Amino acid sequence: MTSGPTSPDPSANPKWAELAAAAAAVPTIRDLLDADPGRPARSTVSAAGITLDFARQQITPQALAALIELAEKQGVFDRRTAMFAGEHINTTEDRAVLHTALRLPRGARLIVDEVDVVSEVHEVLDLMGNFAKSVRNGKWRGATGKRINAIVNIGIGGSDLGPAMAYQALRDFSKRDMGFHFVSNVDPTDLSEVLRSLDPARTLFVIASKTFSTLETMTNGRAARAWLVSALGEKAVINHFVAVSSNRELVEKFGIDSKNMFGFWDWVGGRYSMDAAIGLSTMIAIGPKAFSQLLAGFHAMDKHFETARADQNLPVIMGLLAVWNRDFLNISTNAVLPYSQYLSRFPAYLQQLTMESNGKRVRLDGTPVTYQTGAIVWGEPGTNGQHSFYQLIHQGTSPVACDIIVIAQSDNPLGDQQNMLIANALAQAAVLARGRTIDEVAADGTSKELAPHKVMPGNRPTSVISAPRLDPFTLGALIALYEHSVFVQGALWGINSFDQWGVELGKKVALGILAVIDGQADMSTVDVATAHSIEVLATQGRA
């Protein structure tokens, strides 16, 4: 089934002009809150254990309703239906987009291209589960008979960011007598620093590459293989390497038994794959039962996104607010600020999810967009960020939209520190939204000369996203919330959120430059600036 490249220009819709006029006249966030004491209650929605409070967004109920109408007219909800049905909405690659199928429960059916994808997914999950159990309980042994105590996931992009983020987020649920490490950078330091403290006889490598040819991943994989072989011999490879891949031939050529190859499908993009075989290291860390809870959280948010009415639908609201901030309030960046140390890698994960998906300049039919698309996503956990970049958010000249993520209960209670953390999160949300006027500063007794320096403009659109506890279910629901928000944005903009051609070109050019550096190609094959840089670096390398 194919969903053709229909991509009507949203800015040509009369609703777009109506929204632009509404944005020009929208009151400040402070005024919106002061004028309507019931706004917070009416601007709070919950699903799958996640609560979204968007009362501090600079938008009126009327503008949000108009955004929902625009989404309807632009076919956003029809495209959602097509995605869940397995239609080929990734038109530039002629593929279905079925990360939601990765978390459908056993026994569900979804036939795509004449294949029951759910049964295939659960076959892989069962293989993963059996393998994870054998590593966790010591049945799987290294070549010398020792138990495995270190897992090294070697990947890049979605094959690294998802597993690394999930391990950090769910570390409280992990097997504590095992170490988990993540290598992605082709910089030799990344792998070398990980291997420095490991025992080859007790280390298991998971090489994650769909094609088993990704340059960075396989370069690190071959280096790890050489390290192991130098210590334990060639025959040890089969006991210490497994693959997440679909290329059986290259996996076996590497020395990995194909029985220890965990596959996935073309209809899963790398940045959407952490709940499939790419999550093997996650499953080993937290166990198959907790991994199934992670999938249940994903699925719960999927069902909510698919069935809830638009004005009560968390991903729809978040996605439409992102479009409002980007296109109508002209805010180019979105800071993700998790007040949870466990979520310290979550902003980096969302950078790829959002910017690789919606960093596009043409619509589905190839025509250029005439409006802004994907925002720049960045962030760090609180309270650390408060002593770093919050100064710019509060008093800088470029407004920043903010997502503040708060977990109500700590798994590591320590005195009053969790309450202190929550107080800081809510304080930042209040100041970002309301600011502090010069009259309020003066009322504190601040001198006239110093007062301007203490004024906070406020009016920074801020959402507070909260959950009772950060467990596997909650993490799955939280990730799916952002996945579907990204979908809503891309569908409204009429772009393809599921390809990444901008990533591919750099890889191709790098291979050409590498050939020049290695003396296998002439300097004339690169541009003059690149040729000059090669010469400079060659000189520095000899210094």
Whether the upstream peptide bond of residue 214 has omega within 30° of 0, thus cis, is: no
Q: What is the pLDDT of residue 309?
A: 98
Other beta carbons within 10 Å of 303: 15
Residue 90 pairs with which residues in a beta bridge?
95
Give, in order, the Cα–Cα distances in Å from 420 to each of 383, 417, 435, 447: 10, 5, 21, 30
Question: What is the rounded CA–CA span in Å between residue 130 and residue 291?
Answer: 13
Q: Which residues contact 479 (CB under 8 A, 6 or more apart)?
A: 274, 275, 298, 349
512 within 8 A of 107, measured Cβ to Cβ = no
Quick check: is 507 catalytic?
A: yes
Residue 175 neighbours by CB distance under 10 Å: 16
- Distances from the Cα of 22 to the Cα of 45, 53, 113, angstroms: 23, 22, 45
User: Do 71 and 13 contact (CB within 8 A), yes or no?
Assistant: no
pLDDT at 212: 94
In the DSSP assignment, the letter for residue 354 is I
| Cβ-contact 77, 69 below 8 angstroms | no
Write the pLDDT tens digit of every residue in 78-96.
999 999 999 999 999 999 9
Please report which residue ranges of 171-324 form alpha helices under DSSP H: 188-195, 215-232, 237-240, 248-254, 280-286, 288-307, 314-323
Band of pLDDT at residue 179, cut at 50, 70 and 90: very high
Split at pLDDT 50, 70, 90, the class of 7 is low
288 Cβ contact list (under 8 Å, min separation 6): 128, 129, 132, 133
Rounded (to 5) percent helix, strand, coil in the chain: 55, 15, 30
Told to judge if 73 belongs to the known catalytic residues of this protein, a careful annotator would answer no
The token duo for 265 is: 């499908």
Using CA atoms, how far apart are residues 188 and 129, in angstroms rounded to an integer?
32
- From the list 99, 240, 299, 356, the catalytic residue is 356
Mean pLDDT, residues 187-205: 98
**Which amino acid type is present at position 525?**
T
499: number of Cβ within 10 Å: 18
pLDDT level of residue 114 (50, 70, 90 thresholds): confident
Helices 61-73 and 14-25, interaxial angle, to 10°?
160
Contact partners, residue 356, CB within 8 Å, separation at least 6? 157, 271, 500, 502, 503
Q: Is the pLDDT of residue 264 over 90?
A: no
Q: What's the whole-number average pLDDT of the chain?
A: 96
Rg (Cα) of the chain, in Å, rounded? 25
Q: What is the mean pLDDT of residues 209-223?
A: 95
How many residues appear in the chain?
A: 543
Rounded to the nearest angstrom, the gap between the alpha carbon of residue 451 and the centroid of all alpha carbons in its chain is 41
Which amino acid belongs to residue 274? M
Identify which of 70, 98, 69, 102 has the alpha carbon closest to the alpha carbon of residue 84.
98
Of the listed ranges 2-11, 32-41, 401-410, the least confidently predicted one is: 2-11
Answer yes or no: 99 catalytic: no
**Whether the predicted model's global pTM rises above the 0.85 cut:** yes
Do 213 and 250 meet the contact criterion of CB atoms below 8 Å apart? yes
CB 136 within 8 A of CB 290: no
Q: What pLDDT band is residue 6 in, cutting at 50, 70 and 90?
A: low
3-state secondary structure of 320: helix
What's the pLDDT at 542? 87
Identify the weakest region by mean pLDDT among 128-137, 204-213, 460-469, 502-511: 502-511
Q: Is the pLDDT of residue 244 over 90?
A: yes
Name the catalytic one among 235, 289, 507, 532: 507
Q: What is the DSSP letter of 476?
A: H
Segments of 277-435 assigned E as strands: 333-339, 376-378, 401-407
Query: In this predicted structure, what is the pLDDT of residue 1?
Result: 47
Question: 320-370 pLDDT, tens per residue?
Answer: 999 999 999 999 999 999 999 999 999 999 999 999 999 999 999 999 999
Exposed e or buried b per residue across 55-76, where buried means at least 16 C-beta atoms within 10 angstroms of its C-beta: bbbbbbeebbebbbebbeebbb
Pairwise CA distance, residues 436 & 415, whole Å: 31
CA atoms within 13 A on the CB side of 345: 16
Instruction: Please answer whether residues 338 and 420 qualify as being in contact, where contact means their C-beta atoms are separated by less than 8 angstroms.
Output: no
How many CB atoms within 10 Å of residue 115?
12
Q: Which member of 114, 249, 259, 387 is catalytic? A: 387
DSSP 152-178: EEE--THHHHHHHHHHHHTGGGS-TTS
Is the CB of residue 490 less than 8 Å from the CB of residue 357? yes
In the chain, what percentage of residues exceed pLDDT 70? Answer: 99
Helix or strand run (H / E) with residue 44: strand 44-47
Assigned token pair, 172: 């409280």
Phi/psi of residue 201, each to 5°? -70, -15
Identify the burial level of 413 via C-beta atoms within 10 angstroms of its C-beta, where 0-12 means exposed, 13-18 middle and 19 or more buried. exposed
What is the C-alpha to C-alpha distance for residues 441 and 458, in angstroms, rounded to an integer?
Answer: 13
